[in-house]
Amino acid sequence: MDNLPNINQELPGAESTEQRIFDAARELFVQKGLDGAKMQEIADRAGINKALLHYYYRSKEKLYEMVAKAVINRAFPVIRQLVESEEPLEQKIARFIDFYIELISKNTFIPLFIITELNKHPDRFFETIFPTDLPKPEVFFRQVEEEIARGNIRPIKPQHLLINIVALCVFPFVAKPMLRVVLGLSQAEINQFLAERKEEVKRFVFQAIKP
């Protein structure tokens, strides 16, 4: 995580009112999701009246989309930097897992937002929300193939490895409500379980690709 920017910092050049709205909305969407968060609650937390909030954002859905888009757009340059770097593969994987899980743990509404938008409005999602300057995985794929050729990791399609890593990072946060029911965990135990994911995912991935 060294030298990686904090994507939760203030929006560059943002006016203070807009920044307060952004911060309040993101906090409440993390805590309660889209359905649970109320515009009045967002306005109260931002220290403004509801009419002013509606002046900036016509609906809660528009505000939700704006916050999600801002988080995604901040995250992708970091992900691109990680994926396209020439640092050793194991170090790259570890840093990617650290960053990705940290990102989701602080913005837990993002995976559900992406899944919902892809199901409901896939064309609009790729046209207006998803960044156009996507990370290019060719460096990562080449490094995987080189490590396989050296006998350092077992044969595996680089595409499968990348998707496996992303899935291991994302799924527990998407399925968070299931943890209480299926695993019988208390809220405190769920928090601890999710906090352990960085090291657990790294151990799992590195064990899985050992020759």
Q: What does the pLDDT profile of the chain (211 residues) look like in tens digits?
A: 444 445 454 444 445 888 889 889 989 988 888 888 899 999 999 999 999 898 888 888 889 888 888 888 888 889 999 999 999 999 999 999 999 999 998 888 888 888 888 888 888 788 888 888 888 999 999 999 999 999 999 999 999 999 999 999 999 888 877 878 888 888 888 888 888 999 999 999 999 999 8
Q: Based on the domain organization, do 89 and 21 belong to the same domain? A: no
Q: How many domains does the chain have?
A: 2
CATH code at 117? 1.10.357.10
Output the pTM of the full model.
Answer: 0.81
CA distance 85 to 41: 42
User: Do 72 and 129 form a contact (C-beta atoms < 8 A)?
Assistant: yes
Q: Based on the domain organization, do 99 and 198 belong to the same domain? A: yes
User: Do 96 and 83 form a contact (C-beta atoms < 8 A)?
Assistant: yes
Domain span at residue 88 reads 74-209
Closest CA to 94 of 6, 209, 203, 208: 203
